[in-house]
């Protein structure tokens, strides 16, 4: 007999009113279960297709899984699937008719081993939705309940697996009923760059509750086990039995171009699996190269179908059909993958567009951009229309209305900015003054970008998509149109600008923070200083005064007064910064010199190294002020919006990643205490070899590499004790100080503004992101930042290669340099060349199996022999019995050459030509010292070195330049100007560092 | 959102019934003491109240009196709260008039009017909650009320609606199914003789399918009859008990 229930729905009519609708709902004691195990088939009235009886378990997908991964469930290999009616209805209501019809056809298809169970019309498996229960929760609950009923209905004879994506459901139901398993099992495929053909790793996202002992990555060995998945796909893996597990390879190999595997373990078997399904494809645009003529002929028979080689080693060759293969031979081309048949070794794709010629600078740069999915089209007209106007005829003025609402600091405060020379986008300025009560007032003023960029305006959306300004080695792609980034938002000297300020009142003696004020202001920066000038003023060297444009027009007397005022301010600022830092230290915090700075430094070290830079105290002063501002803003927005503030965290690193660092340090006789950030910093400070300053630098960069990257996150998404910033040792941190260059800062500005309006009890104008949206946004920004870093690194490598490409390694003097061994592999060593900041592999055993041997005078030769690897050294023994040992931190002489590659990026090749350190000229020695000492004399010397170097480079560049012009290879810009720009950027980088 | 699926591949309707199944029917007779006859019926969520006065002398203008039979006067109304949106429904609006007329036709065919010449029988029906099949619920309620009043009839008049979706006839449409806009057929049946007291359909339906839909509706009406018959017997049994032999 039917049972009548009622369902109450609240629907919204077209007029926007809510109507309460009561619908009847009839339940019956039995609905067809369509299982061969059914104890009472007559009662269930099973007609139509039944589940097959030879399955080991039934699978019940959760509604979300049915919605999102229906394609997978469509595979005929999958048997014994029970679709719950609840899940089908979710598809019908939320995914539209097409998807639903697919599901219906699937259910109708007699070949598919799947059935529908009408759980909602079944008296025992129906659960009414409870008051206040969300639709999603109810659906999951219903499906689980029906699964349990079904399990008991089949007299517990068939285990049931419910597949869900909902972590909570797994938690809640995972172990509730025996025989009914709730799982989710997937990870992201990560193809090893170096051994693309063989190895891939899958990182687990959420292990099932019953397999939690599996923490490490899973190795997927070979192309076949990879089952047509491509780097970055979300895949489902099946673990192989333990006796089939394999280890990873530790040897260097041919297309090695980067070392990314800290703590390589020597081939001990690790969990190995094979891919059984792809949940989410991560196909993007790929840059490929057509095979050269000879290769085309060898591919022969099917001339229309051509295998092209992607630029990225990790991507398999792609088969495309085109008639233009010959015409496109010399170009980098974008293709898209369309499909990958199960019978095919390669995926099929189609041609999209041409990027540029191979080895042409523009072509290669756009290759890097496409490969990192960076799209930097010029700003559109609609976006430019939103921009304020500032032309000589129609200059931009301060709006009187704004003037009323903002605090005017133009008359009262001496505001100035310190930036690298030639910097255009000044987004921060500083001020300091004595208050009437004798206390000090420190101010950090940040460009008010959010005043110009409204939420969800075209510019805002574009900036959100870009998320950051992209700095490549020779150029940059701005996040905001230049009218904002270089003009109206840039806190230039002598003009009125809107700002968001943080003002602290400090005690005159102890520099204790008494009060803090946040708000919108109007400022006028009095001086736009650059670091060197500020440092000179601080040191009492006034010869730079003439360089500062603001002083030029003044007469002698007022200049003196102004100068004294400025020098006092800079001095005071430095005092405060020192105290703030000392206090951070005394609070148990540490001086890690900003870990993130280091990361960025490492990324572009080569540029820095081409022109050695000077660490000045002013750098630290400015950085400290910015950190202070970021920290206080983080606190403020977190207090006001505990669940939707955007902060930045730096999780503490895993101890096991430090093992390589500890090994290396031990080899040199230092001990590394990596238990906490403080002990680590202390031991890094101690690990200083007076004879070789490079040791410390390498150790530091290794420490950096062991750490994970700092990330943005939404405070709603994780617990408060995870907010910690390991590198800076602050409990809360965010990015506030560079809204021109980073979208995260714009979000933080909006949050701060909302917090201020909350304090003033005024209406919050900004519409803030909910925690969930913010989380999504953070993921996007983090992702873009990573892309920006990769692009920067790749472009730097590109320039390195271009630099060395035209030099003959045999004859050219500059191609021979001093290198330090920083890691040992089974068939070679990894070498760091401080002169150019290059890291790379040098083989001790070549392809023919010959090993290296060195004579007394240091010359080396290839001879037959064998290699023996130890913990921190490697010995090469020739057949003749001579042997030579390379240990960690040994200095060797290497020859740098470029290994050209047609389809991929060129790589730097290193070759050890002597086991003795390269004889360093005197000037270069002093350069290295300059990194450590900060006295006037060294500064003078380095400047002359710089100039000498520049002159040298210029001479070289000129030759290249001539050649370029002769062959018309570069369009517009010559390499000389490019290198000049690199030089500028090298200085510019520092400014981007302190913001962290 | 995809359109509502009125009949799933497994043969379930939106509310879980199969094609030929009726909604739950509950009925009571003799709900008012003042009236000569009264009844209340629930068909699913459709609820209707019917009251019968008469046969009595003509009220109002005597000229309307019929010389050979009784005049059946029907009035239909819907409560303001009967639908999802509250709405005032004045007396004598077109819809109510039409429905009144239909009821009148139905009952003129069923009541033995020639037994009461020059008199009048009043049937008042009110829908308290409308959830599809209003006409059918009214007819069924009125039948019970007329029986309660003790007015001789040829037979029960049992009504039911039927629709047609995807080649299948659905019996006893609910509001959701009616609102979907398919053809809808209302049928009032005298079950014993199988005569039709009223047949009404106001949408296009291919002639080939008519028989099928008609069949479904009459089957449903016969099912209703079985239920109503039980209600009447139950009522009479109770009344007899009260009277005490």
The answer to whether A97 contacts B15, with C-beta atoms less than 8 Å apart, is no
Q: Give the separation between CA A321 and CA A350, rounded to whole angstroms.
A: 7
Chain A residue numbers with beta carbons less than 8 Å from the beta carbon of B21 are 2, 26
Chain A residue numbers with beta carbons less than 8 Å from the beta carbon of B2 are 92-93, 96-97, 100
Distance from CA of A580 to the nearest CA of B (A): 59
Size of interface A-B (CB pairs under 8 A): 61
Confidence of residue A263 (pLDDT cuts 50, 70, 90): very low
Chain A residue numbers with beta carbons less than 8 Å from the beta carbon of B15 are 23-26
Chain B residue numbers with beta carbons less than 8 Å from the beta carbon of A26 are 15-17, 21, 23-24
Q: Is it the case that residue B2 has pLDDT exceeding 60? A: no
B207–A contact, CB cutoff 8 A: no
Closest in B2, B9, B16 to A25, CB measured: B16
Q: Give the separation between CA A814 and CA A770, rounded to whole angstroms.
A: 56
**Which segment, A486-495, A632-641, A658-667, is predicted with the most confidence on average?**
A632-641
Q: What is the pLDDT of residues B76-102, one digit of tens each?
A: 999 999 987 888 877 778 999 999 999
Domain annotation covers residue B2: no
Backbone angles phi, psi at A486, to 5 degrees: -105, -5
Say what the pLDDT of residue A655 is.
74
B32–A contact, CB cutoff 8 A: no
**Architecture of domain A808-926 in this structure:** Beta Barrel (2.40)
| Residue A382 CA: distances (Å) to CA of A379, A453, A464, B139 | 8, 13, 16, 66
Chain B residue numbers with beta carbons less than 8 Å from the beta carbon of A83 are none
The answer to whether B10 contacts A24, with C-beta atoms less than 8 Å apart, is no
Name the residue in chain B with its Cα closest to that of A19: B84
Q: Write b or e for each residue in A607-623: b if 16 or more Cβ atoms lie within 10 A of its Cβ, otherwise e.
A: bbbbbbbbebbbbbbbb
The answer to whether B14 contacts A23, with C-beta atoms less than 8 Å apart, is yes
A104–B contact, CB cutoff 8 A: yes
Q: What is the pLDDT of residues A575-588, one digit of tens each?
A: 888 888 877 766 54
So where are chain A's domains?
25-165, 283-358, 381-639+736-784, 808-926
B128–A contact, CB cutoff 8 A: no
Q: Which residues lie below 8 Å from residue A468, measured CB to CB, with a gap of 6+?
A: A479, A741, A742, A743, A781, A784, A785, A788
Q: Give the separation between CA A674 and CA B158, rounded to whole angstroms.
A: 88
Q: What is the mean pLDDT of chain B?
A: 91
**Architecture of domain A25-165 in this structure:** 3-Layer(aba) Sandwich (3.40)
DSSP letter string over A150-198? HHHHTTT-S-EEEE---HHHHHHHTTTSTTEEEE---EEEEE-STTTTT
Please tell me whether the peptide bond between A579 and the residue prior to it is cis, using omega within 30 degrees of 0.
no
Q: Do the Cβ atoms of A665 and A871 come closer than 8 Å?
A: no
The answer to whether B15 contacts A118, with C-beta atoms less than 8 Å apart, is no
Q: Give the separation between CA A241 and CA A274, rounded to whole angstroms.
A: 11
Q: Do the Cβ atoms of A185 and A165 come closer than 8 Å?
A: no
Say what the pLDDT of residue B41 is.
96
Chain A residue numbers with beta carbons less than 8 Å from the beta carbon of B174 are 23-24
Chain A residue numbers with beta carbons less than 8 Å from the beta carbon of B14 are 23
CATH class of A283-358: mainly beta
B3–A contact, CB cutoff 8 A: yes
Say what the pLDDT of residue B27 is.
95
Give the mean pLDDT of B45-51: 95
Name the residue in chain A with its Cα closest to that of B129: A22
Confidence of residue A808 (pLDDT cuts 50, 70, 90): low
Residue for token pair 């909302």: A754
Confidence of residue B45 (pLDDT cuts 50, 70, 90): very high
List Cβ<8 Å contacts ≥24 apart for A806-811.
A806/A960, A806/A963, A809/A895, A809/A896, A809/A897
Name the residue in chain A with its Cα closest to that of B14: A25
DSSP structural state of residue A768: P
Q: How many Cβ atoms are within 10 Å of B35's Cβ, its own excluded?
A: 19
Distance from CA of B212 to the nearest CA of A (A): 24
Q: What is the pLDDT of residues A962-972, one digit of tens each?
A: 444 444 333 33
Q: What is the mean pLDDT of chain A?
A: 74
Q: What is the pLDDT of residues B121-140, one digit of tens each?
A: 999 999 999 999 999 999 99
| Residue A672 CA: distances (Å) to CA of A661, A667, A678, A888 | 8, 11, 11, 16
Three-state SS letters, chain B: CCCCCCECCCCCECCCCCCCCCCCEEEEECCCCCCCEEEEEEECCEEEEEEEEEEEECCCCHHHCCCCCCEEEEEEEECCCCCCCCCCCCCCCHHHHHHHHHHHHHHHHHECHHHCCCEEEEEEEEEEECCCCHHHHHHHHHHHHHHHHCCCECCCCEEEEEEEECCEEEECCCHHHHHCCCCEEEEEEECCCCEEEEEEECCCCCHHHHHHHHHHHHHHHHHHHHHHHHHHHHHHHHHHHHHCC
Is it true that A25-165 and A808-926 share their CATH fold? no
Q: Give the separation between CA A836 and CA A790, rounded to whole angstroms.
A: 19
Q: Give the separation between CA B78 and CA B63, rounded to whole angstroms.
A: 30
Q: What is the tally of structural domains in chain B?
A: 1
Q: Give the separation between CA A919 and CA A556, rounded to whole angstroms.
A: 51
Q: Is it the case that residue A199 has pLDDT exceeding 80? A: no
The C-alpha angle B199, B200, B205, rounded to 5 degrees, equals: 110
Confidence of residue B190 (pLDDT cuts 50, 70, 90): very high
Q: Give the separation between CA A370 and CA A376, rounded to whole angstroms.
A: 10
A127: tokens are 């659960």
Containing domain of residue B43, as a range?
25-244
Q: What is the pLDDT of residues A410-448, one digit of tens each?
A: 888 888 888 877 777 888 898 988 888 888 899 999 999
The answer to whether B24 contacts A2, with C-beta atoms less than 8 Å apart, is yes
The answer to whether A108 contacts B9, with C-beta atoms less than 8 Å apart, is yes
Q: Give the separation between CA B205 and CA A784, rounded to whole angstroms.
A: 60
Q: Is it the case that residue B146 has pLDDT exceeding 90? A: yes
| Residue B113 CA: distances (Å) to CA of A832, B29, B97, B138, B151 | 113, 22, 22, 20, 9
Give the mean pLDDT of B104-133: 94
The answer to whether A24 contacts B5, with C-beta atoms less than 8 Å apart, is no
Confidence of residue A924 (pLDDT cuts 50, 70, 90): very low
Give the mean pLDDT of A213-221: 60
CATH of the domain at B155: 3.30.230.70
């Amino acid at each position: 007999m039917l049972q009548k229930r009622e369902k109450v729905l609240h629907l919204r009519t077209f007029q926007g009113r809510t109507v309460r609708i009561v619908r009847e709902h009839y339940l019956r004691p039995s609905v067809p279960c369509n299982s061969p195990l059914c104890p009472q088939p007559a009662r269930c009235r099973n007609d139509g297709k039944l589940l097959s009886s030879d399955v080991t378990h039934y699978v019940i997908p959760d509604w979300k899984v049915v919605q999102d991964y229906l394609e997978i469930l469509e595979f005929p290999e999958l048997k014994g699937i029970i679709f719950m009616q609840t899940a089908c209805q979710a598809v019908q209501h939320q995914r539209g008719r097409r998807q639903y019809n697919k599901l219906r056809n699937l259910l109708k298809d007699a070949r598919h081993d799947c059935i529908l169970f009408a759980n909602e019309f079944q008296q025992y498996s129906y659960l009414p939705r409870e008051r206040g229960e969300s639709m999603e929760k109810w659906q999951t609950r219903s499906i689980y309940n029906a699964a349990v009923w079904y399990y008991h209905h089949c007299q517990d004879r068939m285990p049931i697996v419910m597949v869900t994506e909902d972590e909570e459901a797994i938690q809640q139901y995972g172990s509730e009923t025996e025989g009914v398993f709730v799982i989710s099992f997937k990870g992201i495929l990560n193809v090893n760059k170096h051994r693309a053909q063989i190895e891939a790793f899958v990182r687990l996202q959420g292990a099932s509750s019953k397999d939690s002992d599996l923490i490490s990555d899973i190795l997927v060995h070979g192309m076949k086990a990879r089952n047509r998945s491509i780097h970055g796909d979300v895949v489902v893996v099946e673990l192989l039995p333990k006796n089939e597990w394999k280890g990873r390879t530790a040897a260097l190999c041919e297309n090695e171009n980067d070392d990314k595997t800290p703590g390589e373990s020597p081939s001990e078997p690790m969990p190995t699996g094979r891919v059984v399904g792809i949940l989410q494809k991560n196909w993007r645009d790929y840059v490929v190269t057509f095979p050269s003529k000879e290769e085309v002929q060898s591919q022969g028979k099917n001339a229309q179908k051509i295998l092209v080689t992607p630029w990225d080693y990790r991507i398999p060759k792609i088969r495309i059909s085109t008639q233009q293969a010959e015409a496109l031979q010399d170009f980098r081309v974008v293709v898209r993958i369309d499909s990958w048949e199960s019978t095919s070794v390669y995926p099929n794709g189609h041609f999209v567009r041409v990027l540029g010629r191979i080895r042409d600078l523009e072509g290669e740069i756009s290759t890097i951009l496409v490969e990192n999915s960076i799209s930097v089209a010029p700003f559109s007209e609609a976006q430019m229309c939103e921009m304020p106007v500032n032309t000589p005829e129609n200059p931009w003025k301060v709006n009187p209305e704004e003037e009323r609402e903002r605090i005017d600091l133009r008359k009262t405060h001496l505001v100035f900015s310190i930036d690298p020379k030639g910097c255009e986008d000044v987004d921060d300025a500083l001020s300091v003054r004595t208050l009437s009560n004798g206390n000090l007032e420190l101010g950090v003023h940040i460009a008010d970008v959010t005043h110009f960029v409204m939420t969800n305006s075209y510019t805002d959306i574009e900036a959100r998509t870009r998320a950051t300004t992209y700095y490549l080695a020779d150029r940059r792609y701005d996040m905001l149109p230049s009218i904002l980034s270089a003009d109206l938002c840039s806190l230039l000297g002598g003009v009125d600008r809107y700002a968001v300020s943080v003002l602290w009142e400090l005690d005159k003696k102890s520099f204790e923070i008494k009060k803090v004020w946040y708000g919108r202001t109007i400022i006028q920066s009095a001086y736009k200083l650059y670091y060197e000038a500020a440092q000179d003023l601080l040191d009492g060297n006034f010869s730079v005064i003439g360089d500062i444009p603001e002083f030029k027009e003044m007469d002698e007397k007022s200049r003196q007064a102004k100068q004294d005022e400025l020098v006092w301010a800079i001095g005071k600022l430095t005092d405060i910064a020192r105290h703030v830092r000392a206090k951070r230290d005394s609070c148990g915090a540490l001086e890690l010199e900003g870990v993130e700075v280091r990361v960025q430094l490492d990324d572009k070290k080569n540029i820095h190294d081409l022109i050695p830079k000077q660490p000045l105290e002013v750098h630290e002063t400015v950085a400290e002020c910015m950190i202070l501002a970021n920290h206080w803003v983080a606190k403020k927005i977190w207090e006001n919006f505990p669940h939707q503030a955007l902060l930045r965290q730096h999780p503490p690193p895993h101890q096991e990643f430090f093992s390589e660092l500890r090994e290396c340090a031990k080899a040199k006789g230092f001990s590394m205490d990596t238990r906490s950030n403080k002990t680590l910093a202390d031991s890094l400070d101690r690990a200083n070899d007076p004879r070789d300053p490079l040791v410390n630098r390498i150790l530091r960069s290794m420490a950096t590499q062991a750490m994970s990257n700092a990330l943005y996150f939404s405070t709603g998404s994780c617990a408060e004790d995870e907010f910690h910033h390991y590198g800076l040792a602050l409990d809360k941190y965010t990015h506030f100080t560079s809204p021109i260059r980073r979208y995260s800062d714009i979000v933080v500005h909006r949050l701060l503004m909302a917090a201020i309006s909350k304090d003033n009890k005024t209406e919050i104008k900004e519409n803030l992101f909910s925690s969930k949206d913010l989380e999504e946004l953070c993921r996007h920004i983090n992702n873009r930042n990573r892309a920006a870093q990769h692009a920067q690194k790749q472009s730097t490598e590109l320039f390195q290669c271009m630099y060395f490409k035209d030099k003959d390694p045999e004859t050219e003097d500059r191609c021979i340099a001093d290198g330090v061994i920083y890691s040992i592999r089974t068939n070679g060593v990894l070498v760091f060349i401080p002169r150019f900041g290059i890291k790379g592999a040098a083989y001790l055993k070549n392809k023919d199996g010959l090993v290296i041997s060195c004579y007394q005078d240091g010359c080396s030769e290839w001879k037959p022999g064998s290699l023996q690897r130890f913990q921190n050294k490697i010995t090469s023994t020739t057949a003749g019995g001579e042997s030579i040992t390379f240990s960690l931190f040994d200095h060797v002489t290497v020859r740098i050459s470029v290994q050209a590659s047609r389809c991929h990026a060129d790589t730097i090749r290193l070759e050890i030509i002597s086991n003795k350190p390269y004889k360093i000229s005197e000037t270069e020695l002093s350069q290295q010292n300059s990194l450590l000492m900060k006295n006037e004399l060294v500064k003078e010397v380095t400047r002359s070195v710089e100039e000498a170097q520049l002159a040298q480079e210029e001479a070289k560049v000129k030759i290249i330049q001539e050649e370029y012009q002769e062959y018309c290879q570069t369009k517009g810009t010559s390499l000389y100007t490019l290198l000049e720009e690199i030089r500028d950027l090298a200085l510019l980088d520092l400014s981007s560092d302190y913001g962290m | 959102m995809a359109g509502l699926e009125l009949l799933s591949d497994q043969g379930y309707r939106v509310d879980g019934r199969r094609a030929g199944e009726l909604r739950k029917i509950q009925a009571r007779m003799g709900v008012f003491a003042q009236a000569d006859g009264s009844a209340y019926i629930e068909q699913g969520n459709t609820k209707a109240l019917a009251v019968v006065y008469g046969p009595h002398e003509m009220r109002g203008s005597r000229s309307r009196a019929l010389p050979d039979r009784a005049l059946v006067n029907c009035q239909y109304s819907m409560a303001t709260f009967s639908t999802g949106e509250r709405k005032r429904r004045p007396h004598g609006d077109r819809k109510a008039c039409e429905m009144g007329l239909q009821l009148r036709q139905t009952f003129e065919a069923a009541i033995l009017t020639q037994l009461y010449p020059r008199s009048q029988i009043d049937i008042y029906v009110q829908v308290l909650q409308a959830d599809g099949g209003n006409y059918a619920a009214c007819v069924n309620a009125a039948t019970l009320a007329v029986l309660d009043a003790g007015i001789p009839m040829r037979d029960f008049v049992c009504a039911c609606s039927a629709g047609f979706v995807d080649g299948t006839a659905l019996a006893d449409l609910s509001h959701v199914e009616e609102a979907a806009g398919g053809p809808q057929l209302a049928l009032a049946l005298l079950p014993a003789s199988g005569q039709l007291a009223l047949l009404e359909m106001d949408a296009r339906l291919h002639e080939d399918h008519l028989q099928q839909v008609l069949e479904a509706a009459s089957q449903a009406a016969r099912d209703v009859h079985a239920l109503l018959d039980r209600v009447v017997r139950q009522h009479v049994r109770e009344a007899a008990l009260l009277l005490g032999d």
